[in-house]
């Protein structure tokens, strides 16, 4: 029913007299009863369908985590035939510094290493954002150099809707905190602590804020996407939580994050693993889009049922 009879400017309302005048299509009583029974049946089926669609999202989340778990157990792709000497060296040098929890065995030819070990050989390749008075709310501007904040760091996803900027002059003072496309950004605060994403292409000049750790990966050792995905497994989140501090909201300090363990495969195998994960995630994304369309249709279904019922079409 349209609200053309409403006289209110701000809140639509009807007078009692107008309500008395609303026309109602009235079929014979036996037919009314059949229509009600049919509507109730269709509404129940509609609820069942919506409940099933809501469960799909949870199933897809579990599917993605299952893919990551398999990938970092070496079960998702063919294995690299020879053990990498680089990995053997990393295993020796980093084994004593991987401190965040008990680490499971990795496949032959892989090695546990630390995020710090994977940093590029250049100044400030592994850096926290500026703390305290170095970057204050008053420093933010409506445009300029992008500031990457905690709310931008999703689980494997850069969330681009929360935007903040500083002036070019302020950026020059904070240049050591610069983030470039392809850098790994790690969240020092929950939820969950230790989650990571990549700085996307096209973001332009940017810096990270406090509690956003920027890791520029040594491309001779690791693929940035491989490292980022390894830091988004449930197993990593559990280890990061054990290493974190705080009673309310967990926080990992920079030294904790430097010691985060990464199960590292030989570089060619890393690239195959990333490609396989992306292919499986793309399938999950396609299902998710289809589910979203179905949910939009399901939201309109009850009104469509009522419309047909009172046109005598059920």
Q: Percentage of the chain with pLDDT > 70?
A: 90
Total of domains in the chain: 1
> Domain range for residue 130?
121-218+229-261
Q: Is residue 116 part of a domain?
A: no
**In this predicted structure, what is the pLDDT of residue 90?**
61
In this prediction, residue 100 has a pLDDT band, given cuts at 50, 70 and 90, of very low
pTM of whole model > 0.85?
A: no
Cα within 13 Å of Cα(28), Cβ side: 2
**In this predicted structure, what is the pLDDT of residue 15?**
83
Angle between helices 29-71 and 267-309 (to 10 degrees): 180
* Average pLDDT value over all residues in the chain: 86
Which whole-number Å values give the CA distances from 103 to 12, 57, 70, 148, 218, in the listed order?
62, 30, 16, 31, 23
Q: What's 212's domain CATH number?
A: 3.90.220.20
Q: Is residue 129 part of a domain?
A: yes
Q: Which tens digit of pLDDT belongs to each residue from 166-210?
A: 999 999 999 999 999 999 999 999 789 999 999 999 999 999 999
Q: Is residue 37 part of a domain?
A: no
């Amino acid at each position: 029913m349209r609200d053309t009879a409403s006289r209110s400017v701000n809140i639509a309302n009807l007078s009692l007299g107008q309500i008395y005048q609303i026309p109602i299509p009235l079929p014979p009583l036996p037919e009314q009863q059949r229509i009600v029974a049919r509507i109730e049946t269709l509404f129940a089926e509609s609820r069942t369908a919506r409940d099933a669609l809501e469960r799909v999202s949870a199933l897809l989340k579990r599917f993605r985590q299952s893919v990551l778990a398999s990938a970092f157990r070496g079960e998702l792709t063919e294995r690299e035939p020879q053990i990498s000497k680089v990995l053997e060296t990393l295993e020796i040098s980093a084994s004593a510094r991987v401190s965040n929890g008990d680490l499971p065995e990795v496949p032959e030819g892989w090695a546990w290493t630390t995020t710090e070990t994977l940093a590029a050989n250049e100044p400030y390749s592994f850096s926290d954002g500026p703390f305290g008075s170095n970057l204050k709310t008053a420093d933010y501007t409506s445009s300029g150099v992008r500031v990457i904040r905690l709310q931008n760091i999703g689980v494997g996803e850069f969330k681009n809707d929360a935007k903040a900027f500083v002036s070019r002059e302020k950026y020059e003072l904070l240049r050591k905190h610069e983030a470039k496309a392809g850098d790994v950004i790690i969240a020092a605060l929950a939820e969950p602590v230790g989650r990571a994403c990549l700085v996307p292409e096209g973001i332009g000049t940017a810096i990270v804020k406090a509690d956003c750790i920027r890791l520029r990966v040594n491309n001779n050792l690791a693929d940035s996407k491989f490292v980022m995905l390894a830091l988004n497994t449930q197993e990593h989140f559990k280890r990061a939580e054990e290493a974190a501090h705080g009673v309310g909201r967990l926080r990992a300090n920079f030294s904790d994050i430097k010691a985060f363990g990464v199960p590292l495969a030989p570089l060619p195998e890393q690239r195959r693993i990333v490609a396989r994960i992306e292919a499986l995630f793309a399938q999950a994304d396609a299902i998710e889009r289809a589910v979203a369309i179905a949910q939009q249709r399901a939201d309109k279904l009850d009104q469509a049922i009522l419309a047909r019922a009172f046109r005598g079409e059920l």
